[in-house]
Amino acid sequence: MTFDECAARCGSRLRAGLVAVYGPEVGTEAAADALAYGWENWPTVEPMDNPTGYLYRVGQSAARRYRRPQRYLPEVAAPGLPDFEPGLAPALEVLSEVQRVAVVMVHALGYPLTEVATTLGVSVSTLRTHLRRGMDKLRLALEVEPHVR
Amino acid sequence: MSADPSHFPHAPGDDWLRSQLAAFGVTLEAESGLGLRSPHAGELASVAPEPGVPVLRRSPDGRRRRSVWLLAAAVIVVALAADGLFVLNARDTPLGPVGNDNIISENPDDVENTQPPITTPAPVDVPARLLATDGSLLATVSYRGTSLTDDIDAEIDRLGAPRQGETQMNRRSWC
């Protein structure tokens, strides 16, 4: 697999995961740094079992070099786009990193569980656990009444 | 997978939550340039011709943030340096709190008013014995705030001893 193929296949997923964790500004920068690292060290990265997961870790390390704003997720909708609950972004920021990535990538951005699990380097069942716990916290924070079956 | 309701019991209210998350995802996508809209893919391809070539990629935002950090560090260093100078200055000129009698004015004209006056000890009579070269006592003189030499000369005159300026031989012969 060439770097171009890897970037085309996992680039947006990598960026989505880092944006979910660090917000649009820092997440985009970290993803770009991770892809640049992958380009530069592709002979080393390419033989790995999970290059995407490795580059995600590289992006996490790169994000530490950037100053993270106190509020990093958008709290209001962009002009012309559908509105959403103002308390959603603060509630998401309270979640743990992996819970936030799971919730945002699966429910907000619509990525399949398998791709998200590959990006995070965890099993699908582990991802389901993080996703369930993250959604439980969101329900609690936003006072969403659970369905009684 | 997630479609199995046994794994995800979607309760009423979850529909609303999912719709909010979906709307949030649209804004997040738009603000971060996810997918093919990302400007960085073209940027990477333009600066690195082949895989394995080192890439030096710094965005203007990154440079600006780094400059802000450097500026903040410089301000902190200057503040610490100024604080250190202040401490040194305070150690050299101990200033008491306002209203304290120990305050020393920086005006040199006020020094006499604030510092305790320098007093000369009261004059006392200092006895001195005038001895001959063989150790015998010729006379006892005392002086009070004047030169001891003058008192000795006066006593020598009174005794008829050789005056100053006479040869040492004469003085020794007198003694």
Q: What is A60-126 written as a DSSP string?
A: HHHHTTSPPPSS-S-SSPPTTS----TTHHHHHHHS-HHHHHHHIIIIIS---HHHHHHHHT--HHH
pLDDT the model gives residue A104: 92
Beta-carbon contacts of residue B77 (< 8 Å; ≥ 6 apart): none
Q: Do B51 and A43 touch (CB under 8 A)?
A: yes
Q: What does the pLDDT read at residue B105?
A: 54
A148 Cα to chain B: minimum distance (Å): 7
Gap from A3 CA to chain B (nearest CA, Å)? 7
Q: Complex ipTM, two decimals? A: 0.87
The hierarchical CATH code for the domain A3-73+83-142 is 1.20.140.160
Nearest residue to A97 via CA among A78, A119, A124: A119
CA-wise closest residue to A119 among A56, A75, A67, A59: A56
Label residue B147 by pLDDT band (50, 70, 90): low
pTM: 0.53
B130 strand-pairing partners: B139
Contact A85 B52 (CB under 8 A): no
Secondary structure (DSSP) of B91-158: HHS----TT-TT---S-GGGHHHHSPP--PPPP--EEEEEE-TTS-EEEEEEESSS-HHHHHHHHHHH
The pLDDT assigned to B117 comes to 63
Q: Determine the residue of chain A that is closest to B1 in CA distance.
A: A113
- Please compute the mean of the pLDDT values over residues B10-15 and round it to a whole number: 62
Q: Which range, A21-35, B29-43, B92-106, is most confident?
A: A21-35
Domains of chain A, by residue range, sit at: 3-73+83-142
Give residue B12's pLDDT: 47
B31 CB within 8 Å of a chain A CB: yes
Best residue in A144, A145, A148, A149 for a mutation probing chain B (most B CBs within 10 Å)? A144
Looking at the predicted structure, is the pLDDT value of residue B142 above 70?
no
CA distance B32 to B1: 28
Q: pLDDT digits over A24-55, tens only?
A: 888 888 988 999 898 888 888 888 888 889 99
Between residues A9 and B155, the one the model is more confident about: A9
Q: Tell the residue number behind the tokens 């301000």, with chain if given.
A: B75
What was the pLDDT predicted at B119? 65
Q: What is the pLDDT along chain A (149 residues), one digit of tens a residue?
A: 788 888 888 888 888 899 888 888 888 889 889 998 988 888 888 888 888 899 999 999 998 888 777 788 888 888 888 888 888 899 999 999 999 999 999 998 889 999 999 999 999 999 999 999 999 999 888 888 766 44
Predicted pLDDT at A3: 84
Does the beta-carbon distance from A77 to B14 stay under 8 Å?
no
